[in-house]
Amino acid sequence: MAALSKNEVPPWGLAIAGSTGAVLANALVYPLDIVKTRLQVQIKQKKSDSPADAHTTNDRHYNGTLHAMSAIIEDEGLLGLYSGMVGSLLGVASTNFAYFYWYSTVRELYLRKVSAGKTPNTAIELSLGAVAGALAQMFTIPIAVVTTRQQTQPKHDKKGLWATAKEVIDGEDGYSGLWRGLRASLVLVVNPAITYGAYQRLREVLYPGRVVLKAHEAFLLGAMSKSLATLTTQPLIVAKVGLQSRPPPARKGVPFKSFTEVMTYILEKEGPLGLYKGIAPQLLKGLLVQGLLMMTKERMELLFVLLFRYVRKVRKEKLEQLASVAARKIEAAKLATASIAKS
């Protein structure tokens, strides 16, 4: 069998592979997602704070990952850890499909039109990832806004996907509220850019010339690259979540207007470390999700390569059969013509 190459798969095939891996990975670790989101929207309380100065949309303050998990189960039952999961997975599927589609398209255009097939350097890989991420965010951020709202709704005010979307639209920003945090999201395209840029570079360094990685190798590279990206961009992630969630009670319903306003608020209330709250579940989730994603994506891409080869083989065989039938008919016609001419 000839060497396997991802160039045999069109962009939409790579996009399906990437989004499938992302959905499966995020479904497995979703409780970590809701925990990190709730930790990121709350502000550390001080002893001098009165109930009117509450800084969290939840009924009680969480002291860490394990406490948040046990408190959510105690207050909302086991299903509380899966609140907003449908919207979240829909967002994951659409965002990753869009990202991988645009990333493979932009990278292929670069390789064909600009670099003449030469492997792009790290800076170019990051730039290509940023362009793809920006294009993906433009179309998928409304789902992220609705999901964040669902994840941070108090237990006495739970709403479904459409009801939550209506709540956002009925707010002071109208339909534009569905794009809250767009600027922060566009800045955060450096996260997947760093992730996939680092993944490509680590792959070339650790496994040079390898087209297909083993499952544990893909998992390791995915986990390493995502951890690096998360540590670099955590303050922006916290600010984005604050923008997209309900405003804390202490702000009396006044939403944040920009991610710099969120960051300033957090710095005033908690100091610099507040910008890294929720980092433990964020890192663990990112490590597991990215590792599982890249592991699944590699296998899906391999399946697509084999599928496309099979389809091309079947098509070639059919064309050869048709050509053979046509050739026999032409030969028969010639013999018939010759026979008529003799008679």
- Taking only the tens of pLDDT, the chain with its 343 residues reads 444 455 556 666 767 776 777 788 888 888 888 888 888 888 766 655 554 454 555 667 888 888 888 988 988 888 888 888 888 888 888 877 877 788 777 887 887 777 666 777 767 777 777 787 787 777 778 888 888 888 877 777 778 788 888 888 887 678 877 887 777 777 777 777 788 778 878 888 888 877 777 878 877 887 788 888 888 888 888 888 888 777 777 777 777 877 788 888 888 888 888 888 888 888 888 778 777 776 777 676 677 667 767 777 788 888 888 888 888 888 777 777 777 766 6
Q: Are 275 and 234 in contact (CB under 8 A)?
A: yes
pLDDT value, residue 104:
78
Q: How far apart are CA 57 and CA 251, in angstroms?
A: 11
Q: What's the pLDDT at 3?
A: 47
228, 221 in Cβ contact below 8 A?
Answer: no
DSSP conformational letter for 111: I
Query: Dihedral (C-alpha) 208, 129, 94, 166: value to the nearest 10 degrees?
Result: 150
How far from chain centre, in Å, is Cα 181? 16
Rounded to an integer, what distance in angstroms lies between the CA atom of residue 229 and that of residue 235? Answer: 12
d(CA 239, CA 236): 5
Question: What was the pLDDT predicted at 172?
Answer: 65
Q: What is the CATH number of domain 6-308?
A: 1.50.40.10
Instruction: Look up residue 23 and give its two tokens.
Output: 């959905």
Listed residue (189, 185, 217) closest to 204, CA to CA? 217
At residue 4, the pLDDT reads 46
**DSSP 3-state percent helix, strand, coil across the chain (nearest 5):** 80, 0, 20
pLDDT value, residue 95: 79
